[in-house]
Amino acid sequence: MAESPPNQLLVIHTQYIKDLSFENPNAPAIFSEPNNQAPTLNISLDVRSAQLNEHTHEVVLTLRAQATLPEKSAFLAELDYAGVVSVPESAAAAEVERLLKVEAPRYLFPFARNVLAFATREGGFPPLIVNPIDFAQFHARRNSNAAQTAPVSA
């Protein structure tokens, strides 16, 4: 593996679609029914990582989007977009966590958003453009929620 420049904290070796699913359960009827109401859209996000070797990790960004019209599902799109990244040997545990849970997803997100937009467009709907995400805030909120629900030991 090539050495990274001294100030570079995160190296992204590759990125890829790990899993992609698009369901359009009510097609073709959903396209011909008159509907003046905008669909309800629910989007969920998750970030997880797995260590591959000493300093290399797989980071997976999961996006799930579900659009529903009154009493009918319009579409369900699920995407696991991943990257293989390396962190510096000298990084402290807290820095490694920040790199894997904040920085790596920040770099992967625009590509994942593009895949989701393409899938919804090719599924017959307007492309779904997910708003940018503040992964630092997402990570902080997730850690805060985990701390609040953690069992208390005596």
* pLDDT tens per residue, range 13-60: 999 999 999 999 989 988 887 777 788 999 999 999 999 998 899 999
pLDDT greater than 80 at residue 7: no
Q: How far is CA 13 from CA 5, 38, 58, 85, in A?
A: 14, 40, 10, 6
Q: In whole angstroms, how large is the CA radius of gyration of the chain?
A: 19
Helix axes 104-122, 135-149, angle to 10 degrees: 100
pLDDT in tens, 84-136: 999 988 888 888 889 999 999 999 999 999 999 999 999 999 999 999 999 98
Q: Which domains does the chain have, with CATH numbers?
A: 11-149 (3.10.420.10)
Cis peptide before 28 (omega within 30 of 0): yes
Distance between CA atoms of residues 28 and 143, nearest Å? 43
Sheet-wide strand order for 11-23: 11-23, 72-86, 56-69, 40-51
- Taking the CB of residue 124, how many other CB atoms lie within 10 A of it? 13
pTM of the model: 0.84
Q: How far is CA 81 from CA 12, 14, 61, 110, 140, in A?
A: 13, 11, 5, 10, 21
